[in-house]
């Protein structure tokens, strides 16, 4: 059971990161901090005769790392009630990979992943992050991924999450159905 | 009553654009095609001692054009059940403008806007775009904007929207409560 | 193509009824006004050794009428952001019918229905009725029904819906994909 | 800080009840089991010249007990992705109480309540109960109630909830922001 954490945070040591690191304590994971890479917005060329142009950025290297893992934890701050643009840039490009002959079977491979979401924001996320959670469910449905679990939590000031006891307790439950490596 | 259309499409002549242009027929509008500009992802420096660093891109020019208008129409393709990254990049940066002394009263000014949304996608948008609509409502609530109306519509292939009679009829109703300039 | 309208309204000539009647104009339908019948709340006996007790009320007569039709239009006022209790009483009892040997294949039979929803309420239904619509989608998913289309509309005072032009235009589109009997 | 639990369950010792009792352990509460009472569906007479007719059932006695408390915990099984009809019958009648001169200031009094929700169901409630939670938020917004917290949990067979460790841990957090009576 190999785990990747895909971070959509835009500052180091973010509340999202602190909570996620608590959730994964004791697990070996590969961390991917999207903010450290350059990903261009997708240009919809699904219907162009020649398909998508090659894009010169860091995306392919990241998706290759992601594909190696069984479990994907999407950890994102909640910006304007949805995932950060930093994370959305990454996810939008999946539409290109689905048509990229260098990645045959992309949809099927993604469909075998087990997905977790951690989302942290300042404006009543226990209610206002629910649309974001529903969107992740639709993404999982599209691929046939299992959306295993999620935690939403409230925090705004740096390190404020550390005082959110309920969030930490919930984070400890997040990966309950993954067996700890012995 | 001055209208801006903010396009999140990534190809010219998109289904989103065709439907929006039908909705605004007869109105004078300023069109902003976000795909034609470069906007960097926000870096969350809300809590830095010196605040946000200046960002060298096209964002400020766009937000200044947006601020001049009374009515904002957000027209976006539905990518992975939410707005395109192209549009999310733009909206995320509002958090920076709220703390930018060059834009005093940004939140209040935005709060006076009337908002419309056009969202077009291929995977059952009449259900699966509802979280996106709820997110726009939360955005409007934050500023005190009036979320006047929206239309979601199904289309995938180029120009497919032209065969979606229901979408066109709904688009014609979209701006019902704005008086036509005589 | 045989159509039943299941009304959850609690007063005659309700806004919900006016809008629905506009939507179905020219179609032959069977109207079921749930308010005219007595339906008891379900008692969850799914796990009782002897199963559900017989219930002495009007439910079975109604479900038999419903089962005869290909298309079901659920027309409900929006009370407290969901369907009326009058309608919920009816739907909750489906759990009993699924275990009632007098109705073999109930789930499969329901799964062949095509479903439409009309929902009318006073408090911003274009946003606040979206959870209700999502719930109908989940109900349809459970049975494998096709959730064809829906219209939500704003009205509160008696006959107020008659002034809601947008609602009437949308109602006219509701059954677009059902062929008119010639 | 006086607490009422309003149970929408339809069988004794339900999963919903077991989880709620765990959440309130150590608190003094008044329990209202709606299944033990008879409540008629509301008939919408808001616009009748003479207003609502008196209704001969148990509703008024219950609403009077509810009004005495500061904290309301709505504990409902999830039937067809929303609250049980048993609970909906009760809530729908609030529209009548708002116009009942025997209950002056009903809306304002309700607006001072702090609300919690416990919802237990068998079909993926961590996703499919989200519309129900959003509806409770809208109800709270209407009155100005504070929607303090909620827990959704998966269970179907009798007492199955006892094996849902995550649900129990979350239930223990539910009332975190209410001080324990010393």
pLDDT digits (tens, 9 = 90+) for C15-73: 999 999 999 999 999 999 999 999 999 999 999 988 999 999 999 999 999 999 999 99
> In this structure, what token pair is assigned to residue A89?
């840039």
- Give the pLDDT score at B182: 43
Mean pLDDT throughout C171-180?
87
- The DSSP code for C114 is E
The mean of the pLDDT values for chain D is 96
Residue of C146, C51, C149 whose CA lies nearest to C99: C51
Task: Give the number of other Cβ atoms within 10 Å of residue A97's Cβ.
Answer: 19
Please tell me the distance from the alpha carbon of residue B60 to that of residue B54, in angstroms, as a whole number: 10
- Give the pLDDT score at C144: 98
Mean pLDDT throughout D10-34?
97
Does pLDDT of A180 surpass 60? no
Does pLDDT of D126 surpass 70? yes
Of C10, C123, C139, the CB nearest to D41: C10
CB contact under 8 A, B88 and A81: no
Does pLDDT of C177 surpass 90? no
State whether the Cα torsion D16-D18-D22-D27 is positive or negative: positive
CB A118 within 8 A of CB A173: no
- Give the pLDDT score at D179: 66
- Give the pLDDT score at B171: 97
Mean pLDDT throughout B107-135?
98
CB B41 within 8 A of CB B92: yes
State whether the Cα torsion B80-B86-B87-B90 is positive or negative: positive
Nearest residue of C to residue B126, measured between CA atoms: C149
pLDDT digits (tens, 9 = 90+) for C68-121: 999 999 999 999 999 999 999 999 999 999 999 999 999 999 999 999 999 999
- Give the pLDDT score at A177: 87
- Give the pLDDT score at D182: 43
Residue C36 neighbours by CB under 8 Å, 6+ apart: none
CB A89 within 8 A of CB B85: yes
Tell the residue number behind the tokens 């096209």, with chain if given: B58
CB within 8 Å of chain C, chain B residues 7-46: none
Q: Residue B147: its chain C contacts at CB < 8 A? A: 127
Does pLDDT of C180 surpass 80? no
CB contact under 8 A, D85 and C82: no
* pTM across the whole model: 0.97
Query: What beta strand segments (E) does chain C contain?
Result: 3-7, 29-33, 71-79, 82-83, 114-121, 146-154
Residue of B181, B166, B178, B182 whose CA lies nearest to B73: B178
The answer to whether B177 faces chain C, any CB pair under 8 Å, is: no
CB contact under 8 A, D139 and C95: no
Q: What is the rounded (10 degree) CA torsion for A130, A135, A137, A141?
A: 160
Nearest residue of D to residue C143, measured between CA atoms: D80
pLDDT digits (tens, 9 = 90+) for A82-137: 999 999 999 999 999 999 999 999 999 999 999 999 999 999 999 999 999 999 99
CB A41 within 8 A of CB B72: no
- Give the pLDDT score at C1: 86
> In this structure, what token pair is assigned to residue D127?
């996703």
The mean of the pLDDT values for chain B is 96
- Nearest 5°: phi and psi at A116? -130, 150
In angstroms, what CA-CA distances link D157 with D66, D117, D165?
30, 21, 15
Reported confidence tier of residue B83, pLDDT bands at 50, 70, 90: very high
Mean pLDDT throughout C158-171?
96
Residue of B93, B94, B102 whose CA lies nearest to B39: B93
Strand partners of residue A30:
A4
pLDDT digits (tens, 9 = 90+) for A41-83: 999 999 998 899 999 999 999 999 999 999 999 999 999 999 9
Does the ipTM exceed 0.90?
yes
The answer to whether A98 faces chain B, any CB pair under 8 Å, is: no
Does pLDDT of C182 surpass 50? no
State how far residue D135 is from chain A, nearest Cα, in angstroms.
10
Chosen for mutation from D18, D36, D41, D139 (greatest number of chain C CBs closer than 10 Å) is D41
CB D43 within 8 A of CB C85: no
- Give the pLDDT score at A140: 98
Q: Residue A150: its chain D contacts at CB < 8 A? A: 126
The answer to whether A67 faces chain B, any CB pair under 8 Å, is: no
CB contact under 8 A, C41 and D35: yes
Tell the residue number behind the tokens 């005769």, with chain if given: A49
Nearest residue of A to residue B77, measured between CA atoms: A44
The answer to whether C126 faces chain B, any CB pair under 8 Å, is: yes
Reported confidence tier of residue C179, pLDDT bands at 50, 70, 90: low
């Amino acid at each position: 059971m190999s785990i990747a954490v895909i971070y959509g945070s835009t500052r180091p040591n973010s509340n999202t990161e602190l909570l996620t690191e608590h959730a994964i304590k004791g697990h070996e994971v590969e961390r991917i901090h999207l903010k450290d890479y350059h990903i261009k917005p997708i240009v919809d060329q699904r219907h162009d005769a020649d398909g998508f142009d090659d894009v010169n950025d860091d995306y392919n290297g990241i998706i290759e790392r992601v594909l190696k893992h069984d479990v994907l934890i999407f950890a994102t701050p909640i910006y304007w009630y949805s995932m950060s643009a930093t994370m959305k840039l990454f996810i939008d490009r999946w539409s290109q990979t689905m048509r990229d002959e260098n990645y045959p079977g992309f949809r099927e491979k993604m469909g075998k992943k087990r997905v977790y979401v951690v989302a942290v924001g300042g404006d009543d996320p226990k209610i206002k992050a629910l649309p974001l959670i529903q969107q992740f469910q639709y993404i999982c449905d599209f691929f046939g991924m299992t959306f295993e679990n999620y935690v939403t939590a409230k925090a705004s000031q740096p390190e404020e999450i550390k005082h959110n006891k309920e969030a930490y307790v919930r984070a400890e439950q997040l990966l309950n159905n993954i067996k700890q490596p012995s």
